Amino acid sequence: MGSYMPIEGEAALLIENNERSLIVADLHIGIESRFVKKGLHFPSQTHLIKNRIEKLIREYTPSTLVILGDVKHNIPNISFQEWKEIPRFFKNLTELIKIEIVPGNHDGNLKRLIPKNINYHSSKGYILKNGNKKIGLLHGHTWPARDLLDVNLLFMGHNHPAIGLKDALGIRHVDKVWIRTKWKKKRVQMYILKNETSMNGNITDSEQNINKKKIGNPEIIIFPAFHPLIKGTAFNDPQSKFLGPLFTTESIEFDEATAYLTDGTHLGPLKNLSIHVQEDPSTCLGG
């Protein structure tokens, strides 16, 4: 299978498939207007986001940029900031690289803002193939498309993973992390069985369909948010709430999940990092 490499110090990952791809998630262009409503005034980060991506393109020479959803932030409408900044953002990038987008839950009407030469996929995700190996790409706010259930590797965003840590003075910090985990295969099977049974009313037919359709056991990589002002949701806080059907059906394996800081530090299993953190609501913005 194609190899992947998180880029040290960045919420970005490179994958060597049949070609080299740069993958990021959760840009949330326009989120600064939400901070204003909370009484916090930050300058637009869009130029900084674009410059960081362009720097990574120059340094690592990928042929494709993949964005795993939540390009924009405002729901349900398009904000003035998004109207102004997103077309310019993509005009510059499309001159450098081919772009693929898997839309997220914040991306309503995004097609009105992006160039037509960007490949815009289903919100249920799509697959990169390398020989007989498959890599699934998904935002995470929807259940994966059926063909993504048998991939070898699954990348997703949406939950902005972070870890709450205490320093020597007892001061708490929330730092972005990568989460590496699996799903609970039996729970995934149960969800599909329940869903198909409710649709056709025949549990025997549903069981036969599941047996015909393979459900794999992929390694799952959950991306930290690329936007520099979003710290995220502490995965080691028992009070944190997680979004998306893989989480709400309790199909994600937490006990054996491991966390890595964006500088490459391996923090180990989440079960050994259970530190209660009272997060600043301005830095924990959810999916």
Contact status, residue 46 vs residue 211, Cβ threshold 8 Å: no
CA distances from 256 to 179, 181, 262 (A): 10, 7, 19
At the topology level, CATH places domain 3-183+218-272 in: Purple Acid Phosphatase; chain A, domain 2 (3.60.21)
Residues 6+ apart with CB under 8 A from 269: 255, 256, 257, 258
Question: Which pTM value belongs to this model?
Answer: 0.88
* Secondary structure string (H, E, C) spanning 50-67: HHHHHHHHHHHCCCEEEE
Would you call 186 helix, strand, or coil by DSSP? helix
Tokens, residue 190: 């149960």
Other C-beta atoms lying within 10 Å of the C-beta of residue 23: 27
Contact status, residue 160 vs residue 26, Cβ threshold 8 Å: yes
**How much is the average pLDDT of 86-115?**
95
The per-residue pLDDT for range 107-164, each reduced to its tens digit, is: 999 999 999 999 999 999 999 987 778 999 999 999 999 999 999 999 999 999 999 8
Determine which of 12-26, 170-184, 242-256, 266-280 has the lowest per-residue pLDDT on average.
266-280
* Phi, psi of 80, rounded to the nearest 5 degrees: -60, -40
CA torsion, points 71, 69, 122, 95, in degrees to nearest 10? 50
Domains of the chain, by residue range, sit at: 3-183+218-272
- Give the confidence band of 215 by pLDDT, cuts at 50, 70, 90: confident
The per-residue pLDDT for range 169-210, each reduced to its tens digit, is: 777 788 999 999 999 998 998 888 777 655 555 554 455 555
